[in-house]
């Protein structure tokens, strides 16, 4: 029996890249997976087809996670199809390009840039509020948020993105403290530079080589690396782990 057999997972921003890899990892261990997307319907449906062709169960659902009503509708649709959500993965990211050349430095960054990136936290709040009642009723659940190792090692100063990701630390640990008595764990995974996603496509070859050469495992991460890390937190192996932030970057950041 697969370790997540009978569980229902919702992965936000799962039409491509890291989110798609997470959805596939969870489905590979038996979870029924809701693939959330905003713009990339074709890609989301491709992820769903791949899961179904591998013997899993999945559906795609379009929702802007910064829209509270849309999130509520999505969670209800998932519950109607599969049952209440047991595993929530907050992966959705406002549009961003990891471009070390064109990034906004201190002189050019604006408060609105920060607010735009904080949309990810707003989405995580709405999703957590929507799934928590069902998790409580079922006697437990898992919430996992995707962060960035730039929080601890800002090798490139992506001011707005890194600050928004840092906010997830406090948010997640407060959730862990409040929801722990209901057997709901809340954890965070910080990836490094991932090779290659749409967001990292603008990263120069020079920066890629520097990061890979500075990593003990001498390579960049892949979406599948993050998918397996999420699977660890979603599984029974992490029953007694909550409020934790770990990096999945090949050892580049050690804390």
> What stretch of H or E contains 143?
strand 141-148
Q: Are 37 and 43 in contact (CB under 8 A)?
A: yes
- Rounded Cα–Cα distance for residues 99 and 9 (Å): 32
- For the chain, the distance separating the N- and C-terminal CA atoms, rounded to the nearest angstrom, is 35
Q: Please confirm, yes or no, whether 161 is among the known catalytic residues.
A: yes
Active-site position among 114, 126, 161, 245: 161
- Rounded Cα–Cα distance for residues 227 and 249 (Å): 13
Q: Are 233 and 241 in contact (CB under 8 A)?
A: yes
The residues, ordered by sequence, that sit 6+ positions from 32 with a Cβ below 8 Å of its Cβ are 7, 8, 9, 56, 57, 58, 81, 82, 83
Provide the annotated active-site residues. Answer: 161
């Amino acid at each position: 029996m697969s370790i997540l057999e009978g569980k229902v997972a919702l992965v936000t921003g799962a039409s491509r890249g890291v989110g798609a890899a997470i959805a596939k990892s969870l489905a590979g261990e038996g979870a029924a997976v809701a693939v959330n997307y905003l713009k990339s319907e074709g890609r989301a449906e491709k992820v769903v087809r791949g899961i179904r062709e591998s013997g899993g169960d999945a559906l795609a659902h379009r929702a802007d996670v910064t829209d509270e009503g849309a999130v509520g509708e999505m969670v209800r649709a998932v519950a109607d199809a599969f049952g209440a959500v047991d595993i929530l993965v907050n992966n959705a990211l406002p549009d961003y390009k990891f471009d070390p050349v064109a990034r906004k430095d201190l002189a050019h960054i604006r408060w609105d840039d920060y607010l735009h990136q904080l949309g990810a936290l707003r989405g995580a709040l709405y999703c957590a509020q929507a799934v928590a009642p069902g998790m409580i009723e079922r006697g437990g659940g898992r919430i996992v948020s995707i962060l960035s190792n730039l929080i601890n090692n800002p090798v490139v100063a992506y001011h707005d993105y890194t600050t928004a990701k840092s906010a997830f630390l406090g948010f997640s640990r407060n959730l862990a403290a409040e929801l722990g008595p209901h057997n709901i764990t809340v954890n965070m995974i910080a990836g490094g530079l991932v090779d290659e996603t749409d967001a990292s496509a603008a990263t120069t070859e020079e920066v890629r080589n520097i990061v890979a050469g500075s990593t003990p495992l001498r390579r960049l991460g892949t979406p599948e690396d993050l998918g397996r890390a999420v699977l660890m937190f979603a599984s029974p192996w992490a029953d007694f782990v909550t409020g934790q932030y770990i990096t999945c970057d090949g050892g580049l950041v050690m804390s």
